[in-house]
């Protein structure tokens, strides 16, 4: 038999199979999942077969590529259908997303709008002796302000801009499932806990809460990656996903009007008509994802400066990315390839555009080749006229860990820089440049894959200090100005370079041979001296091993004192409150330990997670401000916003 990947399984299928297991079999489920993952599989049409042992086979029938019903998973063992194998197979398979996010195809534009909410920072400073000042005591099974489960008592019909009782109940289930993960940590969040998340996700989607459903699925995917030892897994990603899940669930019960619409999310992102557009090509970048997809994305600008993209991404990895760059763009009748479009122009009629700027390719869209524009000519030249600090603030709103759905904007920056040389970092070598206002910027490699030109081009540019370039980069949120370098003007000034595809040579450089710096240049920035990491690491430490581990870490008085001395009193109060909540266990009249306050701890953790993200982003924005003051003083808590989605 040849190994074949398991097809995605609908969340409700996995949840149902796990819920139908007896308590005894549930205890064996995680071991069964691990064992099943090592067994040989093969595909025959829409059916994938797993050899459970020499005499037993397990089949997953996936018409259309997804296992959509419980009966589509069958087992040949004597205990079937009440065996553990069917549930184990569903848990071992990836969770199906009912609304995938493909690149636009003709007359079709499905897309998830479940993005995180905008970060803000609490403006009140609790006393370390009273952590409940920041977060009110939580009633049973729900934190203060969190969605309350529906009751049997009749409720008045909600106003159109309020959540329905069914939505509040679904949000409460999302909260409870997320809080349970924080209680147990990754180590204890096995197949049963994941099934609870999948059930909550399915219920939320049925009740028109696609944003919360998407967040729950993201948590499940990351939990499975963490437990499987996936090298691409990062604890910070799971922190963000859990905070998004809990924050969204909380806000369903408190939001109204436009905020509620954003919290609910949108299952499919519509492409709106945009009439006739005159487009000017900027550059083309390779797209290679961890999931094995590859392709190209070409960036264009409209006559009024809006950024749009034309993409072609599908399974295939880096090999496909290199091939797609020279394929014809799927937009109207144009014969331009992606790389040609990056330097040419288009006249489009019947255009459709998604909120994130992707151009639709429906049958009604007509496009013909037109003259492009140089980066120094209008309308493209205007992109470089905005001060770097303003561009960074705009890009930060786009890449924020909790950005509002359909918020628009781009994470690209357009800068005129002077190259200073290279600097070695723990993650590799990056290029140092100086932009307007004297702000030093670190330019990092967008993709380290040796098949792409990013790394070689950056290392070559590092040997030509003093060279002035016009560049396009993608913002990397950090305590210092940092971009991944995507495109630049040619060092000779005669054309532009797609740094992922085009390869520069030494003959292109004005002054080759400059040495690489051995000591890192310190570009400055308030985050370099900020002790915010003292709170960040406690937030992250909770995720792998759960609440109890954080409660055993000991006194945090010294850490809280450092935070206060650094001008972060709210961070100090959050750290004290989080540690106290983790360690708190009440006893009954007979001295027996009562169940831990899972929801109360989740509320404290959520406030700390959202706060650290907001302050880190505020520091990133401050680092881009020109002048010595911006490089030596961090943002104050009084000017930072309140975290949307964190309990007040």
pLDDT at position 89 is 95
pLDDT for 419:
94
Name the packing angle between helices 191-206 and 23-37 (round to 10°): 100
Would you give the end-to-end CA distance of the chain in angstroms? 56
* Tokens matching residue 391: 């561009």
Strand partners, 74: 59
pLDDT tens-digit readout, 589-605: 887 878 888 999 999 99
H-helix or E-strand spanning residue 421: strand 412-425
% the chain with pLDDT above 90: 56
Structure tokens at 144: 């203060």
Give the model's pLDDT for residue 510.
Answer: 77
Tell me the Ramachandran region of residue 164: left when phi exceeds 0, alpha when psi lies from -120 to 50, beta otherwise: beta
Residues 179/635, Cβ–Cβ less than 8 Å: no
Q: Which residues contact 91 (CB under 8 A, 6 or more apart)?
A: 14, 18, 29, 33, 191, 194, 195
pTM of full prediction above 0.75: yes
Question: What's the CA gap between 602 and 582, in Å, rounded?
Answer: 9
The total number of residues written for the chain in this structure: 648
pLDDT in tens, 68-113: 999 999 999 999 999 999 999 999 999 987 643 433 444 333 333 3
Residue 648 and residue 247: Cα distance in Å, rounded?
Answer: 11
The model's pLDDT over 110-128, given as tens digits with 9 standing for 90+, comes to 333 333 333 333 333 333 3
Q: Report helix angle 598-623 to 533-545, nearest 10.
A: 140
Maximum separation of any 2 CA atoms in the chain, in Å:
83
Chain centroid to CA 534: how far? 23
- The C-alpha atoms of residue 432 and residue 170 are separated, in whole angstroms, by 49
Burial readout 579-603 (b: 16 or more C-beta within 10 A, e: otherwise): bbbbbeeeeeeeeeeeebbbbbbbb
Low-confidence ranges of the chain (pLDDT < 70): 1-2, 98-160, 268-269, 291, 404-409, 511-529, 627-648
Which positions ≥6 away from 311 have C-beta within 8 Å? 103, 104, 287, 295, 296, 297, 298, 358
């Amino acid at each position: 038999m040849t190994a074949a990947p398991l097809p995605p399984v609908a969340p409700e299928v996995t949840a149902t199979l796990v819920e139908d297991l007896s308590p005894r079999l549930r205890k064996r489920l995680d071991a069964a999942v691990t064992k099943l993952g090592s067994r040989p599989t093969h595909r025959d049409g829409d059916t994938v077969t797993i050899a459970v042992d020499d005499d037993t086979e397990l089949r997953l029938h996936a018409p259309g590529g997804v296992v959509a019903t419980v009966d589509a998973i069958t087992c040949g063992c004597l205990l079937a259908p009440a065996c553990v194998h069917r549930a184990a197979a569903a848990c071992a398979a990836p969770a199906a997303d009912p609304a995938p996010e493909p690149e636009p195809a003709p007359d079709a534009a499905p897309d998830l709008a479940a993005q995180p909410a905008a970060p803000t920072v609490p403006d009140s400073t609790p006393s370390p002796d009273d952590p409940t000042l920041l977060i009110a005591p939580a009633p049973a099974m729900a934190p203060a302000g969190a969605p309350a489960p529906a009751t049997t008592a009749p409720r008045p019909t909600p106003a159109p801009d309020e959540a329905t009782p069914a939505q509040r109940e679904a949000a409460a289930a999302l909260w409870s499932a997320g809080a349970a993960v924080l209680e147990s940590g990754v180590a204890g969040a096995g197949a049963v806990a994941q099934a609870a998340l999948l059930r909550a996700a399915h219920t939320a989607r049925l009740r028109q809460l696609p944003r919360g459903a998407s967040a729950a699925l993201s948590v499940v995917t990351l939990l499975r990656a963490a437990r499987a030892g996936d090298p691409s897994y990062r604890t910070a990603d799971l922190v963000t996903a859990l905070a998004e899940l809990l924050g969204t669930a909380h806000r369903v019960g408190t939001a109204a009007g436009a905020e509620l619409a954003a919290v609910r999310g949108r299952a499919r992102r519509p492409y709106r008509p945009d009439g006739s557009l005159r487009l000017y090509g900027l550059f083309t970048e390779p797209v290679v994802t961890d999931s094995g997809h590859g392709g190209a994305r070409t960036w264009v600008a409209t006559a009024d400066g809006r950024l749009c993209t034309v993409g072609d991404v599908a399974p295939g990895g880096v090999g496909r990315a290199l091939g797609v760059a020279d394929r014809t763009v799927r937009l109207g009748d144009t014969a331009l390839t992606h790389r040609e479009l990056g330097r040419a122009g288009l006249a489009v009629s019947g255009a459709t555009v998604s909120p994130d700027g992707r151009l639709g390719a429906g049958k009604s869209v007509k496009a013909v080749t037109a003259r492009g524009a140089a980066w120094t000519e209008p309308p493209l030249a205007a992109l470089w006229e905005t001060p770097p600090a303003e561009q960074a603030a705009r890009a930060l709103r786009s890449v924020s860990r909790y950005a509002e759905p359909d918020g628009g904007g781009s994470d690209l920056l357009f800068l005129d820089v002077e190259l200073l040389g290279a600097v070695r970092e723990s993650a590799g070598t990056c290029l140092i440049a100086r932009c307007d206002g004297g702000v030093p910027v670190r330019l990092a490699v967008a993709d380290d894959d040796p098949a792409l030109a990013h790394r070689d081009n950056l290392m070559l540019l590092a040997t030509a200090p003093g060279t002035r370039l016009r560049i396009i980069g993608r913002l990397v949120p950090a305590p210092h100005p940092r971009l991944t370098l995507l495109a630049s003007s040619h060092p000779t000034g005669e054309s532009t370079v797609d740094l992922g595809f085009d390869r520069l040579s030494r003959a292109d450089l004005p002054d080759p041979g400059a040495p690489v710096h051995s000591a890192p240049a310190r570009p400055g920035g308030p985050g370099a001296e900020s002790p915010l990491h003292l709170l960040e690491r406690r937030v992250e430490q909770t995720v792998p091993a759960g609440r109890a581990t954080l409660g055993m870490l000991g006194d945090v008085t010294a850490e809280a004192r450092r935070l206060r001395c650094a001008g972060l009193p709210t961070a100090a109060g959050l750290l004290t409150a989080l540690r106290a909540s983790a360690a708190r266990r009440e006893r009954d009249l007979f001295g027996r330990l009562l169940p831990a306050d899972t929801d109360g701890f989740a509320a404290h953790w959520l406030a700390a997670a959202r706060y650290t993200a907001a302050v880190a982003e505020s520091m990133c924005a401050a680092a881009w401000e020109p002048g010595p003051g911006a490089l030596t003083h961090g943002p104050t808590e009084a000017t930072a916003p309140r975290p949307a989605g964190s309990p007040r």
